[in-house]
Amino acid sequence: DSKRRVRNGWQAYSPALAQSRDDRLRMETQLRRAVDNGEFHLVYQPQVDMRKGSIVAAEALIRWKNHQLGEMRPDHFIGHAETTGDIVRIGRWVLSEACQQVAAWRDAGLGIVRVAVNVSYRQFLGDDLAGTVRGVLDEYRLPGAALELEFTERALIEDAPDTLRTFAELREMGVVLTIDDFGEGYSALNYLRRLPIHGMKLSQLFVEGVPRNHSDVAVCQAIAGIARSLGLGLVAEGVESEPQRRFLLELGVPVGQGFLFAPGLSADAFAHQLGAGLAHGTALRKAR
């Protein structure tokens, strides 16, 4: 308990807490009730056309605010939720919340925007992911193309028996299917041939070092080459600087996401940016 600091009435979470068994149990107990208690919310990070500066999509990123544990980033609790299986319920909540939000933006005339949702490998196991997605799209009267699902490579190499069928069903619905953090994990290239995906996201691990670091440049070039020759889309993650943006555009990567453009925004702030872009034909980048 001495490791906790009280700030604004919230106790700041320290990663060290998760190391003790008691603390892990406490987190798991809180996690179990968090959906029902309304402790989660989403922020939306723009995916930007790096030439024009216009928003092409939003990635929904989960945040957890708990009265005992404080505010937590997903890297602190998603792993626990995967271990306990709570991720399945949390994942359904995220999907529903994100779809409700994108439907509201479309209804408000803010343009044909798409929302990208992160999916854990555990949501393949013991859940009918395609059925869940179909239900949510129906509920909010959304076309499949309004939704993008981001899978980590782990989801693909777990090789649950239904993976191929699930992907085929989702693609049939028009849902955009993307491999997240490409290059960070296994990069078992055989699934790129087997699974009907639309694209991948170039991990910020490599974007970080360009254009100065030679091996990062080489890896980015290689991944861009794979995407190009397989006819897959590529979105750069973690774009923080103007030289990175220029390098990626020269490499033929048109869409980027990162602090250069915007961090994760509240739904209202995101809608504001969308509206501003529509009104002025701009340019998050120019707006800075």
Smallest separation, CB 32 to Mg ion (Å): 24
180 binds ligand C2E (CB under 6 A): yes
Residue 180 lies near Mg ion (rule: CB under 5 A): yes
Candidate ranges 134-142, 169-177, 227-235, 254-262; the one touching ligand C2E (CB under 6 A) = 254-262
* Least distance from ligand C2E to the Cβ atom of residue 274, Å: 18
Does position 120 interact with ligand C2E (CB under 6 A)? The reply is yes
Minimum distance between the CB of residue 27 and Mg ion, rounded to whole angstroms? 21
The footprint of ligand C2E on residues 3-42 (CB under 6 A) is none
Check binding of 240 to ligand C2E (CB under 6 A): yes
3-state secondary structure of 126: coil
Near Mg ion in 110-139, by CB under 5 A: 118
| 137 versus 153: smaller Cβ distance to ligand C2E | 153
- Work out the angle at residue 137's Cα, subtended by the Cα atoms of residues 135 and 138, and round it to the nearest 5 degrees: 65
Residue 15 has a CB neighbour count (10 Å cut-off) of 11
Which residue's CB is nearer to Mg ion, number 30 or number 180? 180
82 counts as binding Mg ion under rule CB under 5 A: no
Q: At closest approach, how far in Å is the CB of 115 from Mg ion?
A: 12
Q: Which residues make Cβ contacts (< 8 Å) with residue 277, sequence separation at least 6?
A: 53, 54, 55, 111, 283, 284
61 binds ligand C2E (CB under 6 A): yes
Q: What angle do CA 78, 84, 86 make, to 5 degrees?
A: 65
Q: Return the residue of 86, 127, 148, 150 that touches Mg ion, per CB under 5 A.
A: 150
CB-wise, 52 or 80, nearer to ligand C2E?
80
| 193 exposure class (CB count in 10 Å sphere: 0-12, 13-18, 19+) | exposed
Among candidate residues 271, 250, 253, the one with its CA nearest the CA of residue 109: 271
**The binder of ligand C2E chosen from 11, 54, 101, 118 (CB under 6 A):** 118
Question: What value does the CA radius of gyration of the chain take, rounded to a whole number of Å?
Answer: 19
User: Who contacts 39 (Cβ-Cβ below 8 Å, separation ≥6)?
Assistant: 64, 65, 66
Identify each DSSP E strand in the chain by its residue range: 5-7, 10-12, 40-49, 55-66, 70-72, 114-119, 147-151, 176-182, 199-202, 233-236, 255-256
Which lies closer to ligand C2E via its Cβ, residue 73 or residue 212? 73
